[in-house]
Amino acid sequence: MDAFLFIPCLVAHVMPQVGEATARVLARAGVTPRLPDGQTCCGQFAYKRGLPEAVRPLARRFVEIFEDAPAVVGPSGSCVAMVRRYPELFDADDPFRRRAGRVAAKTYELGEYLVDVLGCPDLGARLPLRATLHASCQTTRVLGVGGHTERLLAGVADLILTPLPHPERCCGFGGGFSVDYPELSQAILDKKIEDILAADVAAVIAAEPSCLLNIGSALARRGAAVRTLHLAEVLAGEAA
């Protein structure tokens, strides 16, 4: 079985280790990861700024690159959610709407693909660590697959997960939200960091790179000795 890797901008330019871990996880699950050339931004930031006309050429390019893929797998719930919105960017009588719909239907967030398509295989991951889970808004509330992340982490040997006092809390990033409303964004982030520190853990895990970047930066500013780990990095860990 093959799957095409969808590597978002943030992963490609800031967190390449997450992309590499995603490929290793798929390989361990018996899937051959393919990395198509020519990938560009999915257009999520422009879409959230109310600029659909700026997203359409990006959507067309994405569809053309991934149209022949058996499945498309990405390590970002928010970017996958953007791809799922592609069909609505085109008029009902536009043939490209149907093409975008076919690609959107086979594009998955990593945890979603592992659970819903592959049936949650035992990846033999091991991580002797006390950690907590940040459930990103996009993965849980938009895609509705937050429980998949928890199910996969439950299978990691020696990983002790401590729940956060308020697991439903956002990290405050929200793309353009943090730019337009920095004070409000910071206040939300502060509450999330307080919850993480109160959990007394060595790491915080999430399935969303943007959340990890936001949380990691805040932890670093406080001098907190708490690592940030993507779900893919945890699942790609040493075989038990």
Mean pLDDT computed over every residue of the chain:
94
pLDDT in tens, 174-207: 877 888 888 999 999 999 999 999 999 999 999 9
Give residue 131's pLDDT: 97
Please state the pTM of the whole predicted model: 0.94
State the DSSP string of the chain.
-EEEE---HHHHHT-HHHHHHHHHHHHHTT-EEE--TT----SHHHHHTT-HHHHHHHHHHHHHHHTT-S-EEES-HHHHHHHHTGGGGS-TT-HHHHHHHHHHHTEEEHHHIIIIIT------BEEEEEEEE---HIIIIIS--HHHHHHHHHTSEEEEEPPPSSTT---S-TTHHHHH-HHHHHHHHHHHHHHHHHTT-SEEEES-HHHHHHHHHHHHHTT---EEEEHHHHHTS-B-
Q: Say if residue 210's pLDDT is above 80.
A: yes
pLDDT in tens, 49-88: 889 999 999 999 999 999 999 999 999 999 999 999 999 9
| Percent of the chain clearing pLDDT 70 (strictly above) | 99
pLDDT in tens, 80-131: 999 999 999 999 999 999 999 999 999 999 999 999 999 987 899 999 999 9
> Where do the domains of the chain lie, and which CATH numbers do they carry?
2-116 (3.40.50), 122-235 (3.40.50)
Give residue 238's pLDDT: 61
